[in-house]
Amino acid sequence: MPGPALTAGMVHHAPDALLLVDGQGVIIYVNAAAASLFGYPAAELAGLAIEQLVPEQSRGIHARYRAGFSRAPATREMGARLVALAARRRDGTEFPAEIRLAPIEETGPDGGTLVLAAVRDVTDRRRITDELRAARAEADSANQAKSRFLATASHDLRQPLQTLQLLNAALTRRLTSDADLDLVQRQQAALESMADLLNALLDITRLESGAIRPNLDRVPVADVLADLQRQFEAVAAARNLALGIAPTTACVRTDRILFRQILQNLINNALQYTREGGVTVDFRDESAGLVLRVADTGVGIPAPELDRVFDEYYRVDTKGPRPRGFGLGLTIVRQISRLLGYTVKVESELGRGTTFSLHIPAGSLVAMPAGANLAPGPATAGPDVPKPGVLVVEDDPAVRDALDLVLTLEGYPTRVADSAAAALHTFTASGADIDVVVSDFQLGPGRNGLELLEELRHMAGRDLPAVILSGDTSPVLARIGAVPRVAMLRKPVDARQLVVKLEELFGAAG
């Protein structure tokens, strides 16, 4: 045990400012750190009222607090949770302080309880805290600005690109010269590249800013994959590749749109890097959950580069023609997987192929909803079936005219409306001739395509099928997957996709 002299020396040279105060609030002892902190000689501090070290405006409150402490003494922090504390130096300057109090068993000269006060100057800590709060506020403001930009960019940037793609498709139908068609096809390829890059960049930005919030629902995996098979089977056939998707009865509680995007990016990536053979999608049940695997017989990935495949803008060197893309698809897969609580892994052998495995935890697996269609096939109108009448609702005049032109060239009787009100008026007059609705999601302040569809269905007395077109980032879009006989296509929409969706929906409705 240290002797009295050593103990006194430890207290005197302690790094925190220590003051011993009697029951009347008079300082009877200070250590060296206290004298230095308050700018007094130690001998001058002894005998001074403790309120002298408190800012003038706080002295009355401090005296009342000290009296209360005397009635119920206990080791505790002094009032910091209620008010920011400050102390006053000899020269009158003030500083933010952290003060801890502890009663001493011995009594002072006045017979009252002695109190030991430990005081710290927290100027630096307060400054850092204020800077962190300011940085957080600035970051929040930047995220809000980014969200506003995304909402605007997603809609406004896609609109002119949508017009170009639709007009290009219409031009393809009108040209007969092989040379002219070749030019238009090259133009279409450039437009599709622009659309892919815009979509990928906006997706990355939305994910990084936290603007995406999953909307969970029961999603049959086979339902999503059947839709993707229809989307990619023509692409695979054009490259002489096989696309095989194993049957499954698995059902996942997930965000339908985000889950579909993971699988779409994985299948598209596999097709891009496969020259012969094909791509397969299969499943493996594990105790920890479901493993969904997308395997290809493509070029493979060198072992040293496996860790890089999910990096932004990374693309495998194929030693040949460069596949279409920008190296963002797998980055989006990884970020969405994390958002949904999945993990994605990759295995590859150079020259023999690559397998991506999506690990879905058991807690995300749910029972199949009643009446789910495990293997929906395309429902297209036969050649002798009249084309359905289409109501086109679009507030952008260029996009509206281009949609009207493309659908007319495809043989669809069309009516157009530039607003929700105009659409309701048109349907009132010609509802019997309208079989399908094609509507933009954003229809001006306070209105959207889903709300309009509900009104049209109420007027028609039937589940009028519809295609909703959108480049919007609104979480309301997540509802579309749960609405019967409604499909969503993301702007800029390819004219062929639109026609296929219309045929599927009309067939399902008929």
State the average pLDDT over residues 238-243.
Answer: 92
State the average pLDDT over residues 392-416.
Answer: 89
As a whole number of Å, the end-to-end CA separation of the chain is 95
Q: Which residue type does 403 have? A: L
Joined tokens for residue 321: 């023609």
Q: β-pairing, 94-107 with 216-220?
A: unpaired
Q: How confident is the model at residue 507 (pLDDT cuts 50, 70, 90)?
A: low
State the average pLDDT over residues 102-117.
Answer: 77
Distances 106 to 26, 71, 111, 112, 293 between C-alpha atoms, Å: 15, 16, 9, 9, 75
Q: How confident is the model at residue 167 (pLDDT cuts 50, 70, 90)?
A: confident
Bridge partners of residue 305, in order along the sequence:
none
For 363-374, how does the pLDDT look when each residue is reduced to its tens digit (9 = 90+)?
999 887 655 544
Domain architecture of the chain: domains with CATH: 4-121 (3.30.450.20), 140-211+379-510 (3.40.50.2300), 216-377 (3.30.565.10)
Of 97-106, 144-153, 285-294, 349-358, give the lowest mean pLDDT range.
144-153
State the average pLDDT over residues 105-132.
Answer: 82
Q: What is the pTM of this model?
A: 0.50
Q: 257 near 292, Cβ under 8 Å?
A: no
Helices within 378-486 (DSSP H only): 397-409, 420-430, 449-460
> What is the pLDDT at residue 510?
47
Grouping H, G, I as helix, E, B as strand and the rest as coil, residue 50 is helix
Residue with tokens 């109420």: 458
> What is the pLDDT at residue 267?
93
d(CA 52, CA 80): 19
> What is the pLDDT at residue 151?
59
> What is the pLDDT at residue 497?
79
Say which residues have a Cβ less than 8 Å from residue 311's Cβ, sequence separation at least 6: 327, 331
- Would you call 491 exposed, middle or buried from its count of C-beta atoms within 10 A (0-12, 13-18, 19+)? buried
Please name which of 396, 395, 414, 394 lies closest in space to residue 404, comparing C-alpha atoms. Answer: 414
Joined tokens for residue 492: 């800029």
pLDDT at 107 over 70: no
For 408-442, how does the pLDDT look when each residue is reduced to its tens digit (9 = 90+)?
988 899 999 999 999 999 999 988 899 999 998 88
Bridge partners of residue 468, in order along the sequence:
439, 488
pLDDT at 474 over 80: no
